[in-house]
Amino acid sequence: MTEKKEQFSTERIYYSEIIIGALSGSITAQHLYDPPEHPSQGWTSRVFPLSSALEDLAEGGYVIDLRPLADHPQLRTWVFQAPMSNGRLEGDEIDRLSDEARLAAQQMLSGLGGDFQRLALFASQRVGEPLDGSAGPFDAVSASYRAAYWGSRGARIGKRVGDTLYWSDGEQQTISSSDSSRDDQSIIYGGIKQQEEQEQA
Protein backbone atom coordinates (compact mmCIF):
# COMPACT_ATOMS: atom_id res chain seq x y z
CA MET A 1 0.00 0.00 0.00
CA THR A 2 1.44 3.31 -1.07
CA GLU A 3 1.19 6.19 1.34
CA LYS A 4 -0.15 9.31 -0.31
CA LYS A 5 1.41 12.54 0.87
CA GLU A 6 -0.08 15.94 0.24
CA GLN A 7 2.35 18.61 -0.81
CA PHE A 8 1.81 22.19 0.09
CA SER A 9 3.55 25.07 -1.63
CA THR A 10 4.65 27.76 0.76
CA GLU A 11 5.81 30.99 -0.79
CA ARG A 12 7.92 33.25 1.34
CA ILE A 13 6.51 36.74 1.81
CA TYR A 14 8.92 39.63 1.55
CA TYR A 15 8.33 43.14 2.82
CA SER A 16 8.79 46.37 0.89
CA GLU A 17 8.72 48.45 4.06
CA ILE A 18 8.52 48.09 7.81
CA ILE A 19 6.92 50.73 10.03
CA ILE A 20 7.86 51.12 13.70
CA GLY A 21 5.03 52.93 15.49
CA ALA A 22 5.77 56.12 17.37
CA LEU A 23 3.73 55.37 20.49
CA SER A 24 2.11 51.95 20.34
CA GLY A 25 5.25 49.87 19.85
CA SER A 26 3.61 48.01 16.96
CA ILE A 27 5.54 46.89 13.91
CA THR A 28 3.64 46.77 10.63
CA ALA A 29 5.12 45.33 7.45
CA GLN A 30 3.88 45.99 3.91
CA HIS A 31 4.13 42.99 1.60
CA LEU A 32 6.31 43.41 -1.47
CA TYR A 33 4.22 43.73 -4.62
CA ASP A 34 6.29 42.98 -7.70
CA PRO A 35 4.48 40.66 -10.12
CA PRO A 36 4.91 38.06 -11.35
CA GLU A 37 7.37 36.95 -8.67
CA HIS A 38 5.47 38.66 -5.83
CA PRO A 39 1.87 39.03 -7.04
CA SER A 40 -0.05 39.41 -3.78
CA GLN A 41 -0.72 42.68 -1.99
CA GLY A 42 -1.23 42.90 1.73
CA TRP A 43 0.37 43.68 5.06
CA THR A 44 1.24 42.03 8.34
CA SER A 45 0.67 43.79 11.65
CA ARG A 46 2.24 43.39 15.09
CA VAL A 47 5.36 41.65 13.84
CA PHE A 48 7.65 40.83 16.78
CA PRO A 49 10.56 40.92 17.29
CA LEU A 50 11.94 43.47 14.86
CA SER A 51 14.70 41.07 13.83
CA SER A 52 12.08 38.69 12.44
CA ALA A 53 10.67 41.40 10.23
CA LEU A 54 14.11 42.48 9.05
CA GLU A 55 14.89 38.96 7.85
CA ASP A 56 11.99 39.25 5.39
CA LEU A 57 12.69 42.82 4.29
CA ALA A 58 13.34 42.75 0.55
CA GLU A 59 16.61 43.95 -0.94
CA GLY A 60 16.25 47.72 -1.24
CA GLY A 61 13.37 47.75 1.24
CA TYR A 62 12.87 50.47 3.82
CA VAL A 63 12.33 50.75 7.56
CA ILE A 64 10.42 53.84 8.66
CA ASP A 65 10.99 54.46 12.35
CA LEU A 66 8.48 56.96 13.74
CA ARG A 67 9.85 56.96 17.30
CA PRO A 68 11.66 60.29 16.92
CA LEU A 69 8.26 61.89 16.25
CA ALA A 70 6.56 60.52 19.36
CA ASP A 71 6.24 63.92 21.03
CA HIS A 72 5.68 65.99 17.91
CA PRO A 73 2.37 67.91 18.01
CA GLN A 74 1.76 67.24 14.30
CA LEU A 75 2.22 63.45 14.49
CA ARG A 76 -1.44 62.48 14.22
CA THR A 77 -2.01 64.93 11.39
CA TRP A 78 0.98 63.54 9.50
CA VAL A 79 -0.20 59.96 10.04
CA PHE A 80 -3.60 60.78 8.57
CA GLN A 81 -2.17 62.75 5.64
CA ALA A 82 0.46 60.13 4.79
CA PRO A 83 -0.16 58.24 1.53
CA MET A 84 -0.67 54.51 1.74
CA SER A 85 1.73 51.93 0.34
CA ASN A 86 1.27 50.17 -3.00
CA GLY A 87 3.82 47.51 -2.05
CA ARG A 88 6.45 48.54 -4.58
CA LEU A 89 10.00 49.46 -3.60
CA GLU A 90 10.78 52.42 -5.84
CA GLY A 91 9.04 54.92 -8.09
CA ASP A 92 7.35 58.31 -7.96
CA GLU A 93 4.10 57.13 -9.49
CA ILE A 94 0.93 57.91 -7.51
CA ASP A 95 -1.98 55.48 -7.57
CA ARG A 96 -4.70 58.01 -6.87
CA LEU A 97 -8.09 57.22 -5.41
CA SER A 98 -10.44 57.50 -8.37
CA ASP A 99 -13.31 59.97 -8.65
CA GLU A 100 -15.64 56.98 -8.97
CA ALA A 101 -14.44 55.64 -5.61
CA ARG A 102 -14.90 59.05 -4.00
CA LEU A 103 -18.43 59.29 -5.37
CA ALA A 104 -19.23 55.80 -4.09
CA ALA A 105 -17.92 56.80 -0.64
CA GLN A 106 -20.22 59.82 -0.65
CA GLN A 107 -23.22 57.72 -1.62
CA MET A 108 -22.56 55.25 1.20
CA LEU A 109 -22.27 57.88 3.94
CA SER A 110 -25.82 57.51 5.22
CA GLY A 111 -25.42 53.76 5.67
CA LEU A 112 -22.17 53.94 7.61
CA GLY A 113 -21.34 54.86 11.16
CA GLY A 114 -18.42 55.71 13.41
CA ASP A 115 -14.92 55.62 11.95
CA PHE A 116 -16.13 54.11 8.67
CA GLN A 117 -18.41 57.07 8.08
CA ARG A 118 -15.63 59.45 9.03
CA LEU A 119 -13.22 57.90 6.54
CA ALA A 120 -15.83 57.84 3.78
CA LEU A 121 -16.54 61.51 4.41
CA PHE A 122 -12.86 62.44 4.31
CA ALA A 123 -12.35 60.49 1.09
CA SER A 124 -15.38 61.97 -0.66
CA GLN A 125 -14.52 65.54 0.40
CA ARG A 126 -10.77 65.19 -0.27
CA VAL A 127 -9.92 66.10 3.31
CA GLY A 128 -6.17 66.31 3.85
CA GLU A 129 -5.35 66.41 0.14
CA PRO A 130 -2.18 68.47 -0.52
CA LEU A 131 -2.44 71.45 -2.85
CA ASP A 132 0.89 70.81 -4.56
CA GLY A 133 -0.22 67.69 -6.41
CA SER A 134 1.69 65.26 -4.23
CA ALA A 135 0.10 62.08 -2.88
CA GLY A 136 -2.76 62.43 -0.44
CA PRO A 137 -4.05 60.24 2.39
CA PHE A 138 -6.09 57.94 0.15
CA ASP A 139 -3.47 57.53 -2.57
CA ALA A 140 -0.93 54.71 -2.77
CA VAL A 141 2.79 55.12 -3.43
CA SER A 142 6.08 53.22 -3.27
CA ALA A 143 8.15 52.55 -0.17
CA SER A 144 10.77 55.07 -1.29
CA TYR A 145 8.08 57.75 -1.67
CA ARG A 146 6.78 57.09 1.84
CA ALA A 147 10.33 57.02 3.21
CA ALA A 148 10.91 60.48 1.73
CA TYR A 149 7.59 61.72 3.17
CA TRP A 150 8.41 60.57 6.68
CA GLY A 151 12.11 61.36 6.48
CA SER A 152 11.33 64.99 5.67
CA ARG A 153 9.32 65.15 8.89
CA GLY A 154 12.08 63.77 11.08
CA ALA A 155 11.51 60.03 11.07
CA ARG A 156 14.51 57.71 11.13
CA ILE A 157 14.83 55.87 7.83
CA GLY A 158 16.69 52.65 7.12
CA LYS A 159 17.34 50.94 3.78
CA ARG A 160 18.42 47.36 3.25
CA VAL A 161 21.47 46.78 1.05
CA GLY A 162 22.63 43.16 1.20
CA ASP A 163 22.66 42.02 4.81
CA THR A 164 23.04 45.54 6.18
CA LEU A 165 20.45 48.13 7.15
CA TYR A 166 21.78 51.63 6.51
CA TRP A 167 20.09 54.18 8.76
CA SER A 168 19.70 57.86 7.93
CA ASP A 169 21.57 58.81 11.11
CA GLY A 170 24.67 56.92 9.94
CA GLU A 171 24.19 53.71 11.91
CA GLN A 172 24.70 50.42 10.09
CA GLN A 173 22.84 47.40 11.41
CA THR A 174 23.61 43.83 10.38
CA ILE A 175 20.59 41.74 9.41
CA SER A 176 20.99 38.16 10.54
CA SER A 177 18.62 35.42 11.69
CA SER A 178 20.98 34.67 14.58
CA ASP A 179 21.69 38.28 15.45
CA SER A 180 21.31 38.69 19.20
CA SER A 181 23.67 41.61 19.58
CA ARG A 182 20.77 44.02 20.01
CA ASP A 183 17.82 43.77 22.35
CA ASP A 184 14.73 44.05 20.17
CA GLN A 185 12.72 45.08 23.20
CA SER A 186 14.77 48.29 23.33
CA ILE A 187 14.27 48.89 19.62
CA ILE A 188 10.48 48.84 19.79
CA TYR A 189 9.01 51.70 21.78
CA GLY A 190 7.16 53.35 19.73
CA GLY A 191 -0.90 50.55 9.38
CA ILE A 192 -5.58 51.20 5.43
CA LYS A 193 -6.02 54.33 7.24
CA GLN A 194 -7.81 53.49 10.48
CA GLN A 195 -5.26 50.90 11.65
CA GLU A 196 -2.40 53.07 10.42
CA GLU A 197 -3.61 55.90 12.66
CA GLN A 198 -3.98 53.59 15.65
CA GLU A 199 -0.69 51.74 15.32
CA GLN A 200 1.62 54.46 14.03
CA ALA A 201 0.46 57.21 16.37
* pLDDT score recorded for residue 40: 74
Residues 27, 64, single domain; the answer is: yes
* pLDDT tens digits, one per residue of 37-75: 888 789 898 877 888 899 999 999 999 999 999 999 999
163 domain-assigned: yes
Residues 111, 142, single domain; the answer is: no
184 domain-assigned: yes
Return d(Cα 195, Cα 158) in angstroms, integer: 22
- Write out the residue range of the structural domain in which residue 44 sits: 15-94+137-200
Residues 178, 111, single domain; the answer is: no
Specify the DSSP class assigned to residue 106.
H
7 domain-assigned: no
Task: Count up the domains in the chain and report the number.
Answer: 2
* pLDDT tens digits, one per residue of 141-177: 999 999 999 999 999 999 999 999 999 999 999 998 7
Residues 85, 155, single domain; the answer is: yes
Q: Report the predicted TM-score, pTM, of the whole model to 2 decimal places.
A: 0.79
Using alpha carbons, list the distances in angstroms from residue 111 to 106, 119, 120, 193: 10, 13, 11, 19
Residues 59, 31, single domain; the answer is: yes
| CA angle at 40 for the pair 37 and 42, rounded to the nearest 5° | 135
Return d(Cα 163, Cα 184) in angstroms, integer: 17
The residue from 134, 159, 191 where one domain ends is: 134
Positive or negative, the Cα torsion across 85, 87, 90, 91?
negative
